[in-house]
Amino acid sequence: MKKLQCSAAAKICAVLVLLAAAFGAGVFGVRALISSVSITRSSWQDSSRFYSAIDERCQNLVEGIEMSQTLEELEKQIAEGTANPLAYADAEALREEKARMEERFSRQNTWFRFRLLTDDGQTLLGTNLKDDEAISRTVKEMHYFSFELWEGGAYGNGHYYDPETAGLNPDAEAAPLKLVLEYGVPEKVDDSIQDEFSQIWRLWDMDRASFDQYLTGFLNLGALTLLALFWLLWTAGHKAGAEGTVTTWQERIWFDLYAVAMIAAVVLLSACTIWAAEQLYWGRSYAVRGEDFDTFFNLGIMGAGALFAVGVGCGTLLLRTLAVRLKAHCLARTTLLCRVVTWMVRTIHDFVRLLPFTWKIVLGFGAYVIVTFFLIMGGVYNGAFMFMYLCLQLALLIFLSWWAYGYYRLRQGTKTIAGGDLEYQIDTRRMPYDLRLQAEDLNNISAGLSAAVDEKMKSERFKAELITNVSHDLKTPLTSIINYVNLLKSTQQTDPKAIEYIEVLDRKSQRLKKLTEDLVEASKASTGVLSVTREKIGMSQLIDQATAEWEEKLSDRRLTLVTTLPEGETWVYADGRHLWRVIDNLLSNCAKYAMEGTRIYLDLERGKGQVALSVKNISRDPLNVPAERLMERFVRGEESRSTEGSGLGLSIARSLTELQGGAFDLAVDGDLFKAIVTLPQAN
Choose one of 309, 327, 345: the last residue of a domain: 327
Q: Is the pLDDT of residue 172 over 60?
A: no
Q: How many Cβ atoms are within 10 Å of 298's Cβ, its own excluded? A: 12
* Torsion, Cα of 285, 286, 291, 296 (10° steps): -70
Q: Are 573 and 682 in contact (CB under 8 A)?
A: yes
- Burial per residue of 553-584, b for 16 or more beta-carbon CB atoms within 10 angstroms, e otherwise: ebeebebebeeebeeeebbbbbbeebbbbbbb
Q: Is the pLDDT of residue 174 over 70?
A: no
pLDDT at position 461: 67
CB neighbour list of residue 358: distance below 8 Å, 6 or more residues apart = none
CB neighbour list of residue 18: distance below 8 Å, 6 or more residues apart = 225, 228, 229, 232, 312, 313, 316
Q: Is the pLDDT of residue 354 over 80?
A: no
Q: Is the pLDDT of residue 653 over 70?
A: yes
Report, as an integer, the average pLDDT of 330-338.
82
pLDDT at position 464: 63
Q: Compute the distance between CA of residue 526 and CA of residue 664 in angstroms, rounded to an integer.
A: 14
Q: How many Cβ atoms are within 10 Å of 654's Cβ, its own excluded? A: 24
| 499 inside domain | no
Q: Compute the distance between CA of residue 674 and CA of residue 668 in angstroms, rounded to an integer.
A: 6
| 458 inside domain | no
Q: Are 425 and 446 in contact (CB under 8 A)?
A: yes
Q: Is the pLDDT of residue 49 over 80?
A: no
Q: Compute the distance between CA of residue 13 and CA of residue 228 in angstroms, rounded to an integer.
A: 9
Q: Compute the distance between CA of residue 117 and CA of residue 125 in angstroms, rounded to an integer.
A: 6
| 482 inside domain | no
| 23 inside domain | yes
Q: Are 201 and 189 in contact (CB under 8 A)?
A: yes
DSSP per residue over 630-664, as a string? HTSTT--SSTT--SS--S-HHHHHHHHHHHTT-EE
pLDDT at position 2: 46
- At position 28, the amino acid (one-letter code) is F
Q: How far is CA 416 from the centre of its chain?
A: 30
Whether residues 557 and 647 fall in one domain = yes
Give the three-state DSSP class for 673. strand
Q: Are 681 and 660 in contact (CB under 8 A)?
A: no
Q: Are 587 and 639 in contact (CB under 8 A)?
A: no
Q: Compute the distance between CA of residue 58 and CA of residue 180 in angstroms, rounded to an integer.
A: 11
Q: How far is CA 495 from the centre of its chain?
A: 98
Single out the residue of 221, 233, 443 nearest to residue 323, CA to CA.
233
pLDDT at position 465: 65
Q: How many Cβ atoms are within 10 Å of 250's Cβ, its own excluded? A: 17
Q: Which residue has the higher pLDDT, 418 or 640?
A: 418
Please state, rounded to an integer, the average pLDDT across all residues of the chain.
78
| 476 inside domain | no
pLDDT at position 528: 57
Q: Is the pLDDT of residue 526 over 70?
A: no
Single out the residue of 106, 133, 113, 123 nearest to residue 182, CA to CA.
113
* CA separation, residue 401 to residues 17, 205, 430, 435, 480 (Å): 52, 62, 13, 14, 75
pLDDT at position 518: 61
Taking only the tens place, the pLDDT of each residue in 612-621 is 999 998 888 8
Give the total number of structural domains in the chain: 4
Whether residues 547 and 609 fall in one domain = yes
Q: Compute the distance between CA of residue 628 and CA of residue 301 in angstroms, rounded to an integer.
A: 98
Q: Is the pLDDT of residue 590 over 80?
A: yes
Q: How would you classify residue 558: left for phi > 0, otherwise alpha for psi between -120 and 50, otherwise beta?
A: left
Whether residues 301 and 226 fall in one domain = yes
Whether residues 14 and 97 fall in one domain = no
Range name among 13-17, 232-236, 379-383 with the lowest pLDDT average: 379-383
Q: Compute the distance between CA of residue 144 and CA of residue 364 in angstroms, rounded to an integer.
A: 70
Q: Which residue has the higher pLDDT, 238 or 662?
A: 662
Q: How many Cβ atoms are within 10 Å of 607's Cβ, its own excluded? A: 9
Q: Are 545 and 563 in contact (CB under 8 A)?
A: no
| 422 inside domain | no
Report, as an integer, the average pLDDT of 268-288.
73
Sheet containing strand 560-564, edge to edge, reads 560-564, 599-607, 610-618, 672-680, 663-669
- Burial per residue of 413-425, b for 16 or more beta-carbon CB atoms within 10 angstroms, e otherwise: bbebbeeeebebe
Percent of the chain with pLDDT over 70: 80
How sure is the predictor about 37, in pLDDT bands with cuts at 50, 70 and 90?
A: low
State whether the Cα torsion 82-84-87-88 is positive or negative. Answer: positive
Whether residues 32 and 55 fall in one domain = no
- CATH number, residue 612: 3.30.565.10
Q: Is the pLDDT of residue 557 over 80?
A: yes
Q: Which residue has the higher pLDDT, 245 or 540?
A: 540
Whether residues 64 and 165 fall in one domain = yes
| 505 inside domain | no
HSE-CB for 75 with a 13 A CA cutoff:
10
Q: Where does 528-575 have alpha helices with state H?
A: 539-556
Q: Compute the distance between CA of residue 66 and CA of residue 7 in angstroms, rounded to an integer.
A: 75
How sure is the predictor about 74, in pLDDT bands with cuts at 50, 70 and 90?
A: confident
Q: How would you classify residue 420: left for phi > 0, otherwise alpha for psi between -120 and 50, otherwise beta?
A: left
Q: How many Cβ atoms are within 10 Å of 171's Cβ, its own excluded? A: 7
Choose one of 375, 397, 417: the last residue of a domain: 417
Q: Is the pLDDT of residue 168 over 60?
A: no
Single out the residue of 56, 146, 38 nearest to residue 105, CA to CA.
56
pLDDT at position 414: 85
Q: Is the pLDDT of residue 156 over 60?
A: no
- DSSP class of residue 603 equals E
pLDDT at position 250: 83
pLDDT at position 644: 53
Q: Is the pLDDT of residue 95 over 60?
A: yes
- Exposed / middle / buried, residue 512 (Cβ in 10 Å: 0-12, 13-18, 19+): middle
Q: Is the pLDDT of residue 624 over 80?
A: no
Q: Is the pLDDT of residue 628 over 70?
A: no
How sure is the predictor about 460, in pLDDT bands with cuts at 50, 70 and 90?
A: low
Q: Are 135 and 113 in contact (CB under 8 A)?
A: yes
Whether residues 215 and 315 fall in one domain = yes
Range name among 82-96, 438-452, 516-530 with the lowest pLDDT average: 516-530
Whether residues 80 and 98 fall in one domain = yes
Single out the residue of 283, 106, 302, 277 nearest to residue 200, CA to CA.
283
Range name among 23-37, 201-215, 372-386, 516-530 with the lowest pLDDT average: 516-530
Q: Is the pLDDT of residue 30 over 60?
A: yes
Phi, psi of 305 (to 5 degrees): -65, -40
Domain that holds residue 10: 2-41+197-327
pLDDT at position 446: 67
**For 164-191, what is the HEC assignment?**
CCCCCCCCCCCCCEEEEEEEECCCCCCC
Q: Are 637 and 645 in contact (CB under 8 A)?
A: no
Choose one of 186, 208, 224: the last residue of a domain: 186
Whether residues 176 and 108 fall in one domain = yes
Highest mean pLDDT among 152-156, 291-295, 478-482, 565-569: 565-569
**For 276-315, what is the HEC assignment?**
HHHHHHHHHHHCCCCHHHHHHHHHHHHHHHHHHHHHHHHH
How sure is the predictor about 514, in pLDDT bands with cuts at 50, 70 and 90?
A: low
CB neighbour list of residue 556: distance below 8 Å, 6 or more residues apart = none
Q: How far is CA 252 from the centre of its chain?
A: 35
Q: Are 625 and 635 in contact (CB under 8 A)?
A: yes
Q: Compute the distance between CA of residue 370 and CA of residue 679 in angstroms, rounded to an integer.
A: 65
| 296 inside domain | yes
Report, as an integer, the average pLDDT of 337-354.
77
pLDDT at position 525: 61
Q: Is the pLDDT of residue 300 over 50?
A: yes
* CA separation, residue 631 to residues 398, 506, 601, 627, 636 (Å): 53, 29, 20, 7, 9
Q: Is the pLDDT of residue 335 over 80?
A: yes
Whether residues 50 and 177 fall in one domain = yes
Whether residues 621 and 544 fall in one domain = yes
**For 193-211, what is the HEC assignment?**
CCCHHHHHHHHHHHHHHHH
pLDDT at position 3: 46
Whether residues 9 and 49 fall in one domain = no
